[in-house]
Structure 1
Amino acid sequence: MSLPDKAFPVSWDQFHRDARALAWRIADQKKEWRSMVAITRGGLVPAAIICRELGIRLIETVCIASYHDYRHQSEMEILKGISDNVRVNDGEGVLVVDDLTDTGKTAQIVRSMIPKAHFATVYAKPKGRALIDTFVTEVSQDTWIYFPWDMGYAFQKPIADSHAG
C-alpha cells in the first residue's frame, strides 16, 4: 500500500481544537467515565487533552502496532494489552481514545477486549467509522492524514501544481 494522493496536514493548533471538540461531544453524553484507554501511539496526544477536559484520572494504554514503516499496514500486533481492572464488565464506563480510525482493524481488536467501552477518535475514515461511537471529522478513505508529530516545517507545492498535466 502506497501513500494516498490526497493529503490532509494537521497543525498542532488544529489538532488541539479538534481534540477539544471531541471532548465536548463526549461531555454532551453526560456519562461518568471510570477510566480511559489510549490506543498508542496515536491516541496518546488526544487522550492527554480529553482526560484533562473531562477530569479523567485513570488512564490506561493498549499498544497495537500496524504501521511499522508509516507506509505499509501490516499484521496487527498487540504489544501491550489492557489491565484486568479496566476490563471489568467488558469495559463499561471506559472511554477509548485514538487519533484516527482508518480501516477499523485496531478498533476491532480493542473492542473485542472491552466490547462495552465507548470508542472515540478525532478523525474517521469510512471503512472504520462503524466501529467508532464518537468522532469529529470524517475524511475520505484515500486521504493520508499528516499529524503534527509526524511533520516538520517544509515547503508544500500548491495543489494545482500536482494536477497540472
Structure 2
Amino acid sequence: MTNDARLPEKAFPVSWDQFHRDCRALAWRLNGQGPFDAIVAITRGGLVPSAIVARELGVRIIDTISVVSYGEFKQLENLDVLKDIDQHLAARDPKSILIVDDLVDTGKTAQLVRQRLPGAHLATVYAKPMGRPQVDTYVTEVSQDTWIYFPWDLGYSFQPPIRGPGG
C-alpha cells in the first residue's frame, strides 16, 4: 500500500475511449451468446457498459439492481441491496437475461445477483482473479491488488512520469 492506507499500490486508470473500446469488445464476445432480450445492470458501475452493450446487441429492455459493495476505496463486509430487480423481469427465462457490470472484484456482488437470477449470463468488462469464477464473459483481467480508476472517477490533470521528473 501507499502512504495513504486507503489507496492501493497498483492503479489502472481507464479513459473514456478505452472504456468504450473495452465495452464494445465485451459486446463482440457476447454476440455469439444468448440471444438476450433484457439486460440487468449492476449499478452504478454497470450502467455505462450496459448502455453500450445494449446498443451493440439491439437489446431494448434494461433494468437495474443497485448493490452497495464499496466504500472509501475498499470492499465492504456486508452488501446492501438498495433496489432489486423488477419481478416481471425476474420471471422471464433466465437464459434470455444478461447481467452486466464494470468489474468483478471478490465476486460477492456477482454471487448475490446470481442468486436472484440463476441461469442468467453474467458479463463484466474487467475481472479480478477472486471474482472471475462468478463471471461467464469478461474482456480484461487485472491483478487482485489493482484499483481501476474508471473515467467517471477521473478529471483531467497532469500526471507525473513513472520514473519521476528527470525520466
Q: Is the 8 A contact 1:20 1:49 kept in 2?
A: yes
1:7-156 to structure 2, matched below 5 A, reads: 7-29=11-33, 31-69=34-72, 71-74=73-76, 75-88=78-91, 91-156=94-159
Q: What's the TM-score, normalizing by structure 1?
A: 0.92
Of stretches 60-69 and 131-140 in structure 1, the one that deviates more from structure 2 is 60-69
When the two structures are aligned, how many residues end up with a matched partner? 159
Post-superposition Cα deviations, 1:36-70, rounded to whole Å, max 9, x if no partner, equal: 0000000000001000000001110000011133x
Name whichever structure is richer in helix by fraction.
1
Match of 1:157 in 2: 160
Q: Which amino acid aligns with 1:21?
A: A
Q: Which runs of 5+ in 1 are unaligned?
A: none
Residue identity over aligned pairs, in percent, reads 61
Q: Is the 8 A contact 1:40 1:98 kept in 2?
A: yes
Distance across 2 between alignment mates of 1:158 and 1:61: 39
Deviation at 1:88, TM superposition (A): 1.9
Runs of 4+ in structure 1 off by over 3 angstroms are none
Distance across 2 between alignment mates of 1:114 and 1:56: 18
Q: Is the 8 A contact 1:39 1:96 kept in 2?
A: yes
Deviation at 1:84, TM superposition (A): 1.3
SS in 1 for 2:60: coil
Deviation at 1:110, TM superposition (A): 0.1
Deviation at 1:6, TM superposition (A): 0.7
SS in 1 for 2:130: helix
Post-superposition Cα deviations, 1:55-111, rounded to whole Å, max 9, x if no partner, equal: 001110000011133x13222100011111221257231000000001111101000
Q: Is the 8 A contact 1:90 1:114 kept in 2?
A: no
Q: Which runs of 5+ in 2 are unaligned?
A: none
